[in-house]
Structure 1
Amino acid sequence: MRYGYFQVAVRGRKEQVRKESMNPISTLRLEKDFINTLPALNFKGRIIEVTDRTGADRIALELMEHKLLGFDTESRPSFRKGVSYPVALIQLATEDTAWLFRLRFCGFSENLLKLLSSSHVKKVGIGLRDDISRLKDIRDFQEGGFVELCDLAAEKGIIQVGARPLTARYLRHRLIKSSQRSNWAAPTLTEKQKNYAATDAWICLKLYPKLLADRRTYAPTDEDNGPE
């Protein structure tokens, strides 16, 4: 009987741990050292690099059939004050596929512009205001259907609204950002760059339902030094 009770107790504890791991971390601030202890998270699906206008037009038209997409952009980094470069890459992702539109080669196709303007296709991302502004520097359009995850997080009182802390809080994983400052305008992207870009768009897709489901309000506490 005692052995049987022990088995039930162990199973109960495992189930409790499993449920806890599905809940967001409630601490207001997540320390960098804690985030670095979490397992890394990378996109494991199919990555499609779009490098011609015809292909961009066709794929954008197909993506118009989706109701929800993860979104991000990348630009060549500037290491000089006052110098910036145009958006080099638009990333769009579903659960299992990420499309990397290389604007240097495919440009802004008409259907891509329609996709970015469509209010029928939600495009969820982080830091969208800057992304959209920089895209408009290339070609003006009326944006539609964009959902800013930073705003959803801030409404709950969360103060760390970047992709890395939100991934740690809601997915209990670490987002690797080492490729962020690489050259996105290079003639050829490395596999590491492609995976980074795909992950950044896909992670927004994963965070969106987590943020919607989180009903709590975050506020400072006396124990606000890291998760228990």
Structure 2
Amino acid sequence: MSGTLTLTLTVPARSGSDQALLGVVALANTGTGPVTVNARLNLPDGDLVIDVDGPTGTLRAGWPWPADSLPREVELGPGEVLEAGVLLLCTAASQPLFPGAGAYILTASYPAGPITLEAEPVRMVRTPATGAAAAALRDRDVIQSLASASVLGQAAAALAALAADGGMTATLAALATGAGTAAADLTTAAGGPIAVATAASAVLPATDPRHAEIALAVAGDARAASILAGSPHRAP
């Protein structure tokens, strides 16, 4: 199995400290035969491990509320890939995952089956930023709201400001507040079907009604639809 499966983590090379970092993790079958793999490719289930080494030490990406879900498997055919969005925002204790600006190295590992795969380390830079957005992303209520796609605690005002700010952080904030979250609006604002599917797959459970609405909006893009559904597709 180790010769047929690869794990990859992709993140922007540079990201402002006033932006939530959204990555994509991919499990690909590069072999010549089908392989049955663990399909819990996300942070909430706890199987995927992403460590972030930066200026102040190493922190582990986590989810404030670990999922209690059953094992899931899927068959990856030759040349197929399973992709998912990962919100790299906090530790399991809801602490900021990137405490400040600087260079970071991200390493991912995943028990795809009998063996655990490790992705090549990814290097990225968090650039300095000041202002309300940067402060909001260090706030516990905002962190938990973005992760849960809902408004928690005293985060409403900060989330509204983030939703009006543009970019992927705005999409995540819009999902949390419910403001302007018609699927077509989200797809346009996020920069296309793949971007909104990646964001939604990172924070929305399959049982959330918005999940089905976004699925209809991205159905015309095979890769986006697969990311949102958590199903394999042909490697791009």
Higher strand fraction (1 or 2): 2
Q: Do both proteins adopt the same fold according to a TM-score greater than 0.5, normalized to the shorter chain?
A: no
**Bigger Cα Rg:** 1
Structure with larger RCO (C-alpha < 8 A, sep 6+): 1
TM-score, length basis structure 2: 0.23
Q: TM-score normalised to the size of structure 1?
A: 0.24
